[in-house]
Every structure is written in structure tokens, then in C-alpha cells.
Amino acid sequence: MRCYDLYFFLLFGVCASHTQAAPNYSASVDLRYCNTAMDTGVIPSLAPETAARHGGLLTLRQAQVFIRHGARVRWSADKCWPTENTSYHCKQQVALSSSLDGQPQGMLFRKSYARDDEILPGNCNLGQLVESGYDMEYRSGQFLRDAYISRTALLPESLNSSVMGGIYLRSDDQPRTIQSGQALFNGMYPQGSGGHPVEWHTRDAKYRDSLVCQSTEICPNIANATLLLEQSEAYKSHSQRVTEPLKAQLSAITGPAMWELSYGFDVMLDCLYSHLCPTVPSIPTGPSALPAELTPALQQQAVDEAAWQNYIKMNNTRLQKLTTGPLVREILHHADRAFGEDAYRFMLYSAHDTGPVMPLLGALGIGDGMWARFAALIAIEVYDHAATPSTRAVRVIYNGVEQRIPACDGGVDALCDYDVFKKAAMAVVPTEQECGRPLQHL
């Protein structure tokens, strides 16, 4: 059977340079979101006392990595405020080629957006990955190479067809997430794949391309669970005290259209950081690009409210089961098999802040409560021969910081007994009755 596959290639040189409480509002906007440090992919070594406690046989068997795409231009289409006059200028491009039975066919084509004839002024598509976004993911790949190739030998130094059998790479079907994941893997293996095509997994249609379920078709009970949350006294009280007054204050600056959307605060966050982040190529850029009435304190209130509105759902047990539970089920499915010889040693999932990163933080009870920054990264490591009751252990890292799973708080170090971790994680996995239909693999 003959089939044609579409491959994405990144061009260099002329194409590119390398239980949620009410918000505690601060006096200035937090720019860590922009990830100018490009350090979210750091994987710290096990502390010497941890390694000593678990003995010399402790072995890393698997790493499952979940990332948000790198820096991008705005994904929202409408003007942020009536006086906005911002344009976006992208050097990062995509080159396209077809293949037949794994063999390249014909020429390589460079995809270019028409200058000043797009929804966004400039030459960028909505949500397009930019060069700094590629760079921060590539840098994360270098950190992972150090951790999983140089320091632990989880993975081999170079790629070949047999090695790829132990590696699984996946994203949703959007260019910025595909490019981000590929940038990270290029950073892990800068020497390339030796001419072998690298399999990239994705899905399309009917919301199945999302790594976190947001579809009432897949999990019909999502709509009812969301309604129950929004009808709760805590949610309604916050809305009356915080959300609606803040909407009114912001609407006087932006106009009312944004606030007719159920996700208006997500759009506001996108508008703010697309103008403020030095990692986003906007002109003009920085605080002077914003209306004077949009003070730093008001900016931070909008950012905090956007985070609250998302985490109040992601921390809700009922919604966790329906949205994040299927992904947690897949994580455990592969972690259970990490101790066999034919297991995946490295798994990469590339998508978004609102899925998988922030929902997974909520499901695991970890993180900092802030909106996930560009190129945010979660690593779930599975160890064998640990000094734990099951002799197996899990370590979770978020943006370079070891996390403590609440169920493992009694532990003496960052390694959590695998059975304890699994029991806690299984509490998030829905039954078919809770989901509203038979469970599916993602």
C-alpha cells in the first residue's frame, strides 16, 4: 500500500535563528511567563544523600516528558484594545516535503505567510512559533541530553532504527507544538538520525488531537461537571467579588467584545504577554505598547484571574477525572511497562499550557499555581532498585524543580514509592460510568 506522509522540517540561516485560593494580587506583572532564561528543561541530578540512601543499584528506567510549546505570537484574532497598532515579525519558518513509503519525494518547499495580509499585522500566522520559541525548546533538549544520555545513560549517544523503538514522540496536530517537540528532540540529538525518518505521532479531528480531553463527545459528562462547579457557592462568590468587577474595569480599556467570551481572561493574558514578552517579536513591544490605564497592578490582576479560572477547574476532582484522567491512565500504562526490556525509555508529549501541562499539575497536586510559562516542562521519571517498599520509585520535576507528590509527603527525599504514586494517580482516572462512555486510549 502506497501512502504519502507530510513531514515538517525547520530551516535555519535565512529561515530562522537558531484547591485554589483567591488570587494574591501583586503590584507588578510577573514576566517569568516569557522564559527569557530558557531554563525550564533543567533536570537536576539526584541529591548525593538521595543516591546514597537508595544504593548503587538505583536505575532510571523511563522518562515521560510533557512540554508546552515555546514562545509564539498571539493566538487570539481580535484587537486587544481599540488603540492597538501592533505588528508581529517572524523569521522562524516551516519547510514541507512529501514522502512515499518513507522516502523523500521531490523538492523541499518553504512555507511563507503573506506580509501584511494576515489576521495579525506583519508576516506571522496566528499562534506561530517564533525563533526564540524554537531556541528555548532546543535548549531544553540539550538539558535532557545531559540528564538522560550523558549522566544516566537512559538513552544511547546516537540514533538508529533499533534505538527509535524505545522512543515515542507525540504532539497534537498544530504546527507550533510539532515544531516545539521537534526542536527539543533536535537538541537531544543534534547529530541527527543518520538519515532514518523519525516517527512523529499525532491525531486529528473531533478534539482527539488534544492531550487532555476537552470534548463532550469523548467524555459526555464534562459539561455537567463544569456546570456543577460553576454553580458552587465558592465559584459564584469569587465571580461576584473578583471576576465581574475586574471585567468591568478591563472592559472600559479594551471594549466589551473580549468579555462576551467565556475565555475572555485567557485572551487578555495572551494580549498582555504578546506585547510584554521580549521573547515575542512584536512592534511596538514592552510596557509602552499597552494603554496607560492598563497599569502593572491591573495587568497582574488579569493574569492572576486567568490562572484562577483555569486552576479552579483543573483542581476540581470531578473535572480532573474527565479531562486529565485519561492521560494519567496512559502515563501509568507506560510506567507499568517501564521495567520490561521492550518498554519505551523516553516519551515526549508536546502541546499547550492548558493541556497537558497545567491540568497535569493539578492532577498531581504539584506546581507553583502560576500560569505555565513558554516551554514549561514536566518530567516523570521511573526508577528501579530503589530503597522503597515496592523497590520502584517515581521522581517528578517541573521547570527544573523537584516536586513533592502530596501522597508521598512522608517520604524522606524526592523519590516516591511507585505503588504509592500509582494509587494516588489512579484516584484521578475515571470509570466508564463517570466518563459517560467507554474509556479510550488517547
Report pLDDT digits (tens) over 276-285.
999 999 999 9
Give the mean pLDDT of 387-398: 96
Is residue 7's pLDDT more than 60?
A: no
Q: Which helix (H) or strand (E) holds 351?
A: strand 346-351
Distance of CA 59 to the CA centre of its chain: 27
Q: Would you give the DSSP letter of residue 45?
A: P
Q: Rounded distance, CA 284 to CA 87, Å?
A: 7
3 state DSSP class of 62: strand
Specify the pLDDT at position 439: 65
What average pLDDT does the chain have? 88
Q: Rounded distance, CA 392 to CA 13, Å?
A: 46
Specify the pLDDT at position 421: 96
Q: Model-level pTM?
A: 0.91
Nearest to 379 by CA among 53, 134, 44, 37: 44
Task: Quote the longest CA-to-CA distance of the chain.
Answer: 63
Strands 59-68 and 346-351: parallel
Give the list of residues 6+ apart from residue 244 with CB closer than 8 angstroms, or none.
none
More confident residue, 203 or 156: 156
Nearest to 250 by CA among 290, 282, 308, 307: 290
Confidence at 206, pLDDT banded by 50, 70, 90? low
Is residue 149's pLDDT more than 80?
A: yes
344 φ, ψ (degrees, to nearest 5): -70, 130
Specify the pLDDT at position 208: 54
**Under a CB-based contact definition with an 8 Å cutoff, are residues 377 and 64 in contact?**
no
More confident residue, 209 or 164: 164
Confidence at 17, pLDDT banded by 50, 70, 90? very low
Nearest to 23 by CA among 309, 374, 398, 316: 309
To the nearest 10°, report the CA torsion of 119, 121, 127, 129.
140
Predicted confidence (pLDDT) per residue in 174-203, tens digit: 999 999 999 999 999 999 988 778 899 997
More confident residue, 223 or 64: 64
Q: Rounded distance, CA 214 to CA 222, Å?
A: 8
Counting residues of the chain whose pLDDT is more than 90, the rounded percentage is 70
Is residue 3's pLDDT more than 60?
A: no
Specify the pLDDT at position 193: 85
3 state DSSP class of 64: strand
More confident residue, 311 or 56: 311
Give the mean pLDDT of 152-171: 91
Specify the pLDDT at position 93: 75
Question: Which domains are delineated in the chain?
Answer: 37-73+129-216+318-435 (3.40.50.1240), 222-314 (no CATH)
Nearest to 180 by CA among 60, 348, 301: 348
To the nearest 10°, report the CA torsion of 362, 320, 349, 73.
-70
Predicted confidence (pLDDT) per residue in 72-117, tens digit: 999 998 899 999 999 999 987 777 777 777 677 778 888 877 666 7
Q: Rounded distance, CA 15 to CA 8, Å?
A: 14
User: Is the previous residue joined to 175 through a cis bond, with omega within 30 degrees of 0?
Assistant: no
